[in-house]
Amino acid sequence: MTSRIDAEYADPTPLRVRIDTHEHYSESANHPTADVLAALELSGTEHLADIGCGDARFLAELVTAGHHGRLVGIDNSPAMVAAADLVPGVLGVLADAERIPFDDNTFDALTARHMLYHVEDPRSALDEFRRTTRPGGTVAVVVNHPNNCPRTVELVTAHADTYGIEQTETFRASVDSDSLPLLMSEVFGAVRVHRSDNALVFDRAEPLVRFAESLFGLYGVPADHPERDAILDDLRDDVDDWFAAHPGEKWRDPKGYVVVAARVDEG
């Protein structure tokens, strides 16, 4: 992962903004958690690891739903591990996806949601997912479509560019919904794929500006960047101008993801 990615996830706030935006401003119902749970078919007793657990809301939802098997949240951000540790019954572990500090065949189920594209070597991470999941267990991985939310990304990068911020080191997906099924089939054999196509839709400026700001760290404008406030002000003016010039129109930005699930071979 790049230093910009590490900086982005040092604070869970931008991630929370992005999750909340997808929850409230998706054109169609947005149910990635439900899609993952459908792929896993949990009984509630499984020893489950969530790799790249983020702010641990997925694990918290499992606890609330009555899951009583052991739950582990693994992340390479201390802030995210701390969030996992705050959830009753969840163990937070600081580690990389390519070096999971657990024995072979430890977990009954393993999830990696919206994180594999941040890993330098996705195949190595998938090998670790298989190694640490017991035979008969299920691995479910979620990644976005290529060029997810392209209009908002272009908005952010264009304003960063005006301040001389180069995009050579910014987030570039190493794996996406087009490439993940084949990559997982190479590691696990048969896979099941659930695809979700959607869009973010904004009818006013404020939530779009908030979402765009939540992407700043991924595109070279971290919280401590000296020009961050100026970039944000310019971007806000641009968005206000767009809505003023397009009365009654909505800002629509295509997005989507796949859930790819595989059962670890018992042979």
Which of these ranges, 29-33, 128-132, 165-169, 195-199, has the smallest mean pLDDT? 165-169
The pLDDT tens digits of the residues spanning 22-54 come to 999 999 988 999 999 999 999 999 999 999 999
Note the pLDDT of residue 1.
38
Reply yes or no on whether the pLDDT at 15 is more than 90.
Answer: no
- In whole angstroms, give the CA distance from residue 5 to residue 17: 16
Q: Report whether pLDDT(107) > 90.
A: yes
Helix (H, G, I), strand (E, B) or coil at 256: strand
Backbone φ, ψ for residue 248 (5° rounding): 80, -10
Which tokens is 131 given?
Answer: 């190694």
Start-to-end C-alpha separation, the chain = 34
pLDDT for 267 equals: 63
Rounded distance between C-alpha atoms, residue 76 and residue 97, angstroms = 8
DSSP 208-229: HHHHHHHTGGGGT--TT-TTHH
pTM of the model: 0.90
